[in-house]
Structure 1
Amino acid sequence: MDLGLKDKVAIITGGGTGIGRKTAELLLNEGAKVVINGRRADVLKSTLKAIDPSGEHSAYVAGDIADPATSKQLVAKTVDQFGGVDVLINNTGKFGPKPFMDYTPDEIQSYLDVIVKGTLYPVQAVAPEMKKRGKGAIVNTGSMWALAAVEPTPSTAYSAAMAGRHALTKNLAVELASDQIRVNAVAPAVVETPIYNTFLPDKEVPKVLNGFNEFHPLGRNGQPKDVAQAIIYLASEAASWITGVVLPVDGGATARLR
């Protein structure tokens, strides 16, 4: 199937590792140009060296996505280097299970910064450029935790922020529809990415993740490619009549929970 992504220009926030990195790789394989964002310039450089050794089809902008200036810089760099923007993938996130009574105000704010502001500001920056193109596609990485509570991983602040991203997906889809800008989201379950190393000792990560395989009716945790392929589809011309959708990509987990 021709996904119609050749020569398209895509921005990916949270693009240095995990789902974002794999999405960037798949987009490059489809012939697209890619600009990635994250906080750590060294990680972004390493990622692009691995997935686009020539450096001709990609670029990066390091910066905090909770700062609207970062989104403006990201879009300006993309337009300057590749002439416009066709696709935006909002993939920022943080995850650290803990009882809701233990959250500090700063921790709660950090979830809103990374996930909610990390959706609003990039869309505000990119929408005018997509309007110039006459159409565009935005895909947000949401979460199963915004659809259902998971008792072994209490995550109220994360879940609330991701529910906000889901709500933004539907509201932006309606607001931007007249400009032919589609807005959709994916909602993954447990996906084996480096995010688990941010709150677990490295030696414990494999054991903890292995314990979640059977949580999914399909019998295994997700891999970054599983989610990236769904993102690519929603960003592509193959999904040209789909907008406002939050698509579970979860090995059947939410089907079991409902």
Structure 2
Amino acid sequence: MRFEGKVVAITGGGSGIGREAAARFAAEGAKVAINGRDREKLEAAAREIDPSGDNVVISAGDIARPETGAALVDAALSHFGRLDVLVNNAGVFNPKPFLELTEGDYDWYLDTILKGKFFTAQAAAKAMKETGGAIVQTGSMWAIQAIGATPSAAYSAANAGVHAMVRNLAIELAPFNIRINAVAPAVVETPVYNTFLSDDQVKQVLPGFNAFHPLGRNGQPRDVAEAILFLASEQASWITGTVLPVDGGVTAGRQ
């Protein structure tokens, strides 16, 4: 029970990687506060993670707004009395060629991915300043490598900012014993693909990416969640400022 007595806040906790991470933290003894835009989805996730309702609290809102991250931290503090871990997981994805990207597209990526993680990390760090803690960001393999099949200039730029934030905050927050790291996933089978593809398209398209990964398969939420839990745990107590690819070998090279 690595997280017995710990309190964890997770953005994007209603589905995919965030929901899986929330379930894993709870299974290892943590109390969890989860954020997302869809209150009904959050409530369903909370019931599944902890039917008793004692160990999970929800905080709905758009993480692009700084007050939403602050509200998530406040929910953890008011319900559970402390905050030990923040998992900054919320994100958006919709491949579109560079020449077709609009200012609205650009702002959507920067606001949700970079601004959201920036101010939520700030709120969490203020809460952890006296006690120490860990922050884990979900970045992206697309911020490390460009993939022609999924043109993602704005998405990649936003996540590159997330990776840079990790390195800078590792130095700034180290005196407070706050560690910050990131995971950088490749193709992970989560509901994000259903936001721009139909169910039938998802079934047709995603299997085509299995061979893209040297290990021969797409990622699953559990693959990334396990890496997040490691980076948040005492097992990683001497690791900060690191971006960990969780990508089935994509960044190592091609077969």
Question: What is the TM-score of this pair, normalised by structure 2?
Answer: 0.98
Give me the whole-angstrom Cα distance separating, in 2, the residues matched to 1:53 and 1:14: 20
Letter in 1 for 2:13: G
1:247 aligns with 2:253: no
- The runs of 5 or more residues in structure 2 that have no matched partner are none
Displacement of 1:132: 2.3
Report matched runs for 1:1-258 at 5 Å: 3=2, 5-133=3-131, 135-256=132-253
Give me the whole-angstrom Cα distance separating, in 2, the residues matched to 1:200 and 1:189: 18
Give me the whole-angstrom Cα distance separating, in 2, the residues matched to 1:226 and 1:74: 25
Identity across the alignment (%): 59
Letter in 1 for 2:172: E
1:211 aligns to what SS in structure 2? helix
Q: Deviations over 1:3-25 (max 9, x none)?
A: 3x111000000000000000000
Give me the whole-angstrom Cα distance separating, in 1, the residues matched to 2:46 and 2:242: 30
Letter in 1 for 2:103: P
Letter in 2 for 1:47: A
Letter in 1 for 2:228: I
Q: CA RMSD in A?
A: 1.1
Count of residue pairs the alignment pairs up: 255
Displacement of 1:53: 0.6
Displacement of 1:208: 0.7
Give me the whole-angstrom Cα distance separating, in 2, the residues matched to 1:128 and 1:239: 21
Give me the whole-angstrom Cα distance separating, in 1, the residues matched to 2:48 and 2:138: 23
Q: Deviations over 1:173-195 (max 9, x none)?
A: 11101111000000000000000
Letter in 2 for 1:140: Q
- The runs of 5 or more residues in structure 1 that have no matched partner are none
Structure 1 segments, 4+ long, off by >6 Å, are none
